[in-house]
Amino acid sequence: MSLLPPLNPLLKASGKRTREIFASCPDDNIKDDERSSRIKLSVKINDEYKDYKQLPPALLSQQGSVGPSRPKDAQRKMITAGPTSEAAMMIAKIDNTPVQQPSTFTSSSTLSTALALHKTTRTIKPTYHPQWKLSRVISGHLGWVRSVAVEPGNKWFATGAGDRVIKIWDLASGELKLSLTGHISTVRGLAVSSRHPYLFSCGEDKMVKCWDLEANKVIRHYHGHLSGVYSLSLHPTLDVLVTSGRDASARVWDMRTKAQIHVLSGHTATVADVKCQESDPQVITGSMDSTVRLWDLAAGKTMVTLTHHKKSIRALAIHPTEYTFASASAGGNNIKKWKCPEGTFVFNFTGHNAIINTLSVNSEGVFFSGGDNGTLTLWDWNSGTAFQTMDDIPQPGSLEAEAGVFCSTFDHTGTRLITGGADKTIKVYAEQT
C-alpha cells in the first residue's frame, strides 16, 4: 500500500495558487488585511536588513556628521504631501531606526570652513599697476643675450650673451662701460655680489668665474660641473654661491676658498634655474625633469619635491619681500605660485601660453613672464591677473623668429625692467607715470 504524500507542501502550493488566481482578479474589494501586511513587512525588514540597520561600533566611531539635517515636521509635511505608496508609510510606522545626524551645512566642519576660506582667498581684487612701455633698445652684443644682472648700487647692469662676452652698461644712459672676455662659450648666468666687489658668471663652457671689478679680471674659477652651467645664484647672507646646469645637479661653493660644499643631486635632467634666499628653503631649483626641489642647505638634501608641472621648468622667481616664489614651464597652466617653506601651491597664472624662458618680480607685486615666441605678460602677483600683454619687436635686420626673450630682471627700484632676447638686443621697459 503506497503512502500518501505529506499534506503541508500540498496545502502551501494550493494556497499560493488560489491567492495568485484571486490576486489577478480586478475586484478592488479583495485586499490584503493591513495587519497581515504589516507583519509580513516587519518580518521581511528583520530578515533582510537586521545586520545593516546599525553600523558596527568601529565604523560608528569614524563616522562624522554626514549630509543635510532631517527637515522639521512642518517641512516634512510639505515634502511628503501628495501620493505616497502604502508600503513607504508602513515602513515609516514600523521602523524608525535611522538616527538623525546634524547637518554638515550648519556645523563648522573643516571642509566647510576650508571651502569658505577658498572662496574668500580667490576673490582678491587685483592691485592697480600702471602700464609699462619700451623706453630703450641697447645694441652691442653679437649673439643671443642670455643673462642679465643689476648691481646693488643700481648704477650699472651686466649682460652675458652667445658672443662669449660680458658687457657692463650704464643703467641711466644705456652706454657701454666695459667688456669682459674670458668665457669660450655662451654666458648663461650672471650675479653681482652685494657685499664684495665681485661679479660671478657661468657658461656653457662648464666654467664658473669670479671677476674682481676693481681689477676687471678673473680671480677665481670654480671647477666641478661636468657639462654646461645654466644658472647661478648668490646667497644673500652667506659667502656661498650656487650653480646649476646640464649635469642634472646644483653645486654649492664656498665663494672664498673655491671649495665645493655640496652637490645637490636628485634631479634627472638639466637644472635650468636656481635661486637662493635667506630662510629655508635657502635653495630652490627648477629642472627639465619638470620638478621643482626645495633644498636643506645645511644637510645638502631635498626637503620637498614639487611635481605639479607637466613639462620642463626653465625659470624661477623669488618675491623680494614676501615668502613666496613662482616657477614656469612649457606646458598648460605653466606658471605656478608657491608659498614657502613647504612649497604649498597657491594658484596658477593662466593665460601665457608659450614656453616661458624667464620670470621676474618686483617688490610692488609686478610679475613679468617672457616667452620663447616673444610674448611678454605683466601680472598682478597677489591675484594672478594679467594686466598687460606685449610682443617683443625684433630689431630691423633680424628674423621674425628671433623675437624670443631669454632673460629679465627688474632694477632695484622696481621701476625699470631689463630684458635680453634673440635679436641680440637689450630692451629696457619703464613704468608709465
Q: Which CATH number fits domain 132-431: 2.130.10.10, 3.30.70.20, 3.40.605.10, 3.40.50.300?
A: 2.130.10.10
**Per-residue pLDDT averaged across 324-330, rounded?**
94
Quote the pTM value. Answer: 0.71
Range scoring the smallest mean pLDDT among 82-96, 118-132, 358-372? 82-96
Q: Using CA atoms, how far apart are residues 277 and 152, in angstroms rounded to an integer?
A: 16
Predicted pLDDT at 249: 94
Residue range 398-404: average pLDDT? Answer: 78
Instruction: Identify the band that residue 19 occupies on the pLDDT scale cut at 50, 70 and 90.
Output: confident
CA–CA separation, 391 vs 168, rounded Å? 26
pLDDT of residue 15: 83
Distance CA 189, CA 206 (A): 12
Of 53-67, 69-83, 262-276, 306-320, which range is least confident? Answer: 69-83
**Percent of the chain having pLDDT more than 90?**
65
CB 247 within 8 A of CB 288: no
Quick: pLDDT tens for 179-237. Answer: 999 999 999 999 999 999 999 999 999 999 999 999 999 999 999 999 999 999 999 99
Give the chain's mean pLDDT. 86
What pLDDT, in 10s, does the model give residues 33-74? 778 888 888 888 887 777 766 777 777 766 655 555 555 665
Output phi, psi for 259, to 5 deg: -75, 145
Q: What is the pLDDT of residue 337?
A: 96
Predicted local confidence at residue 48, as pLDDT:
78
Question: If residue 92 lies in a helix (H) or strand (E), which one and from where to where?
Answer: helix 86-94
Q: What is the pLDDT of residue 104?
A: 47
22: confidence class by pLDDT, cuts 50, 70, 90: confident
Does residue 101 carry a pLDDT above 70? no
Q: What single-letter amino acid sits at 137?
A: V
Nearest to 355 by CA among 380, 378, 335: 335
pLDDT tens, position by position, 342-379: 999 999 999 999 999 999 999 999 999 999 999 999 99
pLDDT at 144 exceeding the cut of 60: yes
CB 216 within 8 A of CB 195: no
The full set of domain ranges for the chain reads: 132-431
Cβ partners under 8 Å of residue 6, min gap 6: none
Kindly tell me the sign of the dihedral angle through the C-alpha atoms of 314, 233, 392, 399: negative
For residues 1-26, one letter each, b for 16 or more C-beta atoms within 10 angstroms of the residue's C-beta and e for the rest, the string is: eeeeeeeeeeeeeeeeeeeeeeeeee
Q: Spell out the residues 6+ positions from residue 269 whose beta carbon is closer than 8 angstroms to its own.
A: 248, 287, 288, 289, 312
Give the separation between CA 419 and CA 417, rounded to whole angstroms.
7
